[in-house]
Amino acid sequence: MKLVFATHNANKLKEVKQLLPSSIELLSLTDIGCHEDIAETGTTLHENAYIKARYVRDHYGLNCFADDSGLEIDALDGAPGVISARYAGPQKDNEANIQKVWKELTHKTDKAAQFRTVIALCIDGEEKDFEGIVRGKLIHEKRGEKGFGYDPIFIPDGYTQTFAELGNEVKNKISHRAKATKMFIDHLTYD
């Protein structure tokens, strides 16, 4: 079976490919000749994941899944959420995004937050979605060199180090993305 992952991110594609059985031929947007950036105009992670997956199904007639992730801060009612990459502006500047989180949290005592991933799957005329969450807290300093995005300021519950200190070996076991991906793959392989 051919299955498209609606992403241009080669690392994400490689990661999922390694977890899928060889009976599933995983294709990227580039593989199917889709070179445009599908506009993520939704107001939730759920909407954005479905926008991308449905776009490929409707324009290319192929089975497809897509993901969308974000940081959700309790004291900010779930912000930055769906705009995590663009929190401080359209330039998608990680450093500016972190500075903005610190500014918004200045007078808040509750530093609890979570990362959340939603995967939307459009397959054989059906739709299904999967969600992964990792809870933790934010700190007011950057620690660690690994990872990306908000990793240097996020300590997952049960740990004393940030995602940027823990690195991929731990992160790939406990992260939001790992949990959603596992549920999605279990669905494809066992259901």
- 83 counts as binding ligand IMP under rule CB under 6 A: no
CB of 63 to ligand IMP, least distance (A): 21
CB of 124 to ligand IMP, least distance (A): 25
- 151 counts as binding ligand IMP under rule CB under 6 A: yes
- Cβ within 8 Å of residue 91, ≥6 positions away: none
Figure out which of the listed residues 4, 38, 71, 180 binds ligand IMP, where binding follows CB under 6 A. Answer: 71
What is the distance between the alpha carbons of residues 96 and 66, in angstroms, rounded to a whole number? 27
Q: Is 58 a known active-site residue? A: no
Cβ atoms 63, 1 nearer than 8 A: yes
CB of 152 to ligand IMP, least distance (A): 9
With contacts defined by CB under 6 A, name the span among 17-25, 27-35, 63-71, 182-190 that binds ligand IMP: 63-71
Q: Which of 67, 68, 129, 151 is catalytic?
A: 68
> Six-digit token pair at 169?
């070996």
Angle at 105 between CA 102 and CA 111, to 5 degrees: 105
Question: Between residues 2 and 148, which has the closer beta carbon with respect to ligand IMP?
Answer: 148
Q: Is 138 helix (H, G, I), strand (E, B) or coil?
A: strand
- 150 counts as binding ligand IMP under rule CB under 6 A: yes
- Cβ within 8 Å of residue 82, ≥6 positions away: 40, 42, 43, 44, 45, 47, 48, 68, 70
Figure out which of the listed residues 5, 50, 65, 115 binds ligand IMP, where binding follows CB under 6 A. Answer: 115
CB of 115 to ligand IMP, least distance (A): 5
Element (H, E) at 132: strand 126-138
- 184 counts as binding ligand IMP under rule CB under 6 A: no
CB of 149 to ligand IMP, least distance (A): 2
Contact mark string toward ligand IMP, 120..149, x via CB under 6 A: ---------------------------xxx
What is the distance between the alpha carbons of residues 47 and 120, in angstroms, rounded to a whole number? 9
Measured CA distances, 145 to 38, 131, 164, 187 (Å): 31, 27, 5, 34
Active-site residue list:
68
Binding residues for ligand IMP, rule: CB under 6 A, are 68-71, 84-85, 115, 147-151, 163, 175
